[in-house]
Structure 1
Amino acid sequence: MQLTLVQMAATLDSAANRARIEEELRPLEGQDLVVLPEAVMHDFGPSDHDLAAVAEPLDGPFVDLLSREARRLGATIVAGMFERTDDLPFNTLVAMGPDGDLAATYRKIHLYDSFGYRESERLRAGDVDPVVLPVGDLTVGLMTCYDLRFPEMGRALVDAGAEAFVVPAAWVAGEHKVDHWRTLLRARAIENTVWVAAAGQGGSRYSGHSLVADPWGTIVEEAAGGNELVTADIAVDAVRRSREVNPSLANRRMQTL
């Protein structure tokens, strides 16, 4: 299965972001899965920026663009948006199938109340409900950014059948942050024997370093900090082989504790 991660920095202009996404996707062909970052519809902006005012419904212009592009490419596209509600918005991933239909939504469970920031003051958390979907021969589990710091999230996705994790993110830059990002992505791959495909926002505010790790935790492709496409071939056979050699999931004894 051919995968492409689109690393880009979103702005506070939703229309400009859509134009930029369309430009980035235009040359792609042959992909089965395309992943864009968290909040690529509209950046978080400063802490006093009203995300409720810019949030969109699931039939709004952002999802409409992704639907058209997924249908044109014949690929599944996963991307992050702020989803309108009657109160605080959700931080939502939408997965558009190759037919252009909405295949899945995942509303971020773990809001980023950490490193001196409180995402929960601006957004609402989704229900604790793991989301997986089929993409080609693989079952893909969805998580967003800060979810990566919670290993139980990966376990829940694996128990729901995931053979790959897709992780859109806006991983804020700072001391230790790239090291944490790379280490946590590799750890989630190793402990769950899954592929991990992480698309982060780049630019000065975010860490970039979108990457693909195989089920052994080896980074097979990685971006730097700017605008970049990362392409890799991932296969379910690699998951099966790693689980035969390293059957740690089958050897678990603590699932019910």
Structure 2
Amino acid sequence: MRVALAQVITGRDLQKNLRILEEYARKAKEGGAELVVFPEAMMRAFGNSLVDIAEPLDGPWASRVRDLAAELDLVIVTGMFTPGTASESGKPRVRNTLLATGPGVEASYDKIHLFDAFGFAESDTVEAGTAPVTFDAGGLTFGLATCYDIRFPALFTANAQRGAVVNIVSASWGAGPGKADQWQLLARARAVDTTTFVLACGQGDPATQGIETKGAAPTGVGYSAVVSPFGQVMEGLQGEPGLIFADLDASVVDDARQKLPVLANRRDF
């Protein structure tokens, strides 16, 4: 199965972000992809209000993505925000959602591990998800994860135990000393942990486009990558926006699991 990763930079405007998504989805289709992954916060970049734009999975933003996926005969995985329940104090919240939609595919995942780290408190405005999610496309099973989730191996193992041979991680990774290195290290580690392909798709680095960012909101560092089950980077980007392709073969996962049966050998304590 041929897949693509679209490393883009989103902003405040929902319609502009949709146009970016459509542009890259069409390029992915032209390149032969059957599935394209977009970053977290594709609907609206962090650092902007989220509660006022959150909408259900059958709302206009998601419906436009769904229509585009149907038109292109292409599975699209993209980050958006759906309504959450209010906090105990009554503060409104959203859910940080990954939508997967396309031929024979309709799934969504709500981010489980919220980014309360490095001076940013995602839990102030976001309600955590509760369960792993997988879906099937092109004869492969995919697991879903979002950004900070990548620091928690158990989610990736849970996806693999549910049959995933590919783990998708969409992110808007926070910048800072060593953060880009950590992102790359974690993507490779999660691939080896689970003997799955990892599709790690992040927002590009706004600084590469002369865009100034303020505050602690995570707006992306780039370095999207396709990682093999042995932790090798098959395709990758640096900070600038771009589109990469890779061909995924389930037999590579079978071979890895015969040689390195970490899933079969693991023990719970």
Q: Shorter chain as normaliser: what TM range?
A: over 0.9
One of 230, 234, 238 as aligned partner of 1:216: 230
Spell out, residue by residue over 1:150-175, the C-alpha distance to the aligned partner (whole angstroms, 9 max, x if none): 11111111111111100110001111
Aligned to 1:81: 80
Contact 2:172 2:203 in 1 (8 A): yes
Distance 1:144 1:238 in 2: 24
Aligned to 2:183: 181
Spell out, residue by residue over 1:25-46, the C-alpha distance to the aligned partner (whole angstroms, 9 max, x if none): 223323211100001011111x
Matching residue's letter, 2:19: A
* 2:230 is the alignment partner of 1:231: no
- Ranges of 4+ aligned residues in structure 1 off by more than 4 Å: none
Aligned to 2:137: 135
Matching residue's letter, 1:143: A
Aligned to 2:54: 55
Spell out, residue by residue over 1:206-227, the C-alpha distance to the aligned partner (whole angstroms, 9 max, x if none): 1111100000000000011111
Write the mapping of 1:95-244 to structure 2, written as runs, cut at 5 A. 95-98=100-103, 103-127=106-130, 129-202=131-204, 203-204=206-207, 205-244=219-258
Q: Percent identity?
A: 42
Matching residue's letter, 1:109: I
Give 1:86 shift.
5.0
Distance 2:250 2:23 in 1: 31
Matching residue's letter, 2:60: P
Unpaired runs of 5+ residues, structure 2, are 87-92, 208-218
Matching residue's letter, 2:80: M
Scaled by the length of structure 1, the TM-score of the pair is: 0.93
The DSSP-based 3-state class of the residue aligned with 1:249 is helix
Distance 1:174 1:67 in 2: 35
Number of equivalenced pairs: 249
Aligned to 1:68: 67
Spell out, residue by residue over 1:126-147, the C-alpha distance to the aligned partner (whole angstroms, 9 max, x if none): 11x1101111121100000000
Higher mean C-alpha displacement, 32-41 vs 202-211: 202-211
Contact 1:79 1:93 in 2 (8 A): yes
Distance 1:220 1:164 in 2: 14
Scaled by the length of structure 2, the TM-score of the pair is: 0.89
* 2:21 is the alignment partner of 1:21: yes
Distance 1:27 1:152 in 2: 34
Contact 2:134 2:159 in 1 (8 A): yes
Distance 2:33 2:71 in 1: 11
The DSSP-based 3-state class of the residue aligned with 2:27 is coil
Contact 1:31 1:73 in 2 (8 A): no
Distance 2:243 2:3 in 1: 10
The DSSP-based 3-state class of the residue aligned with 2:263 is coil
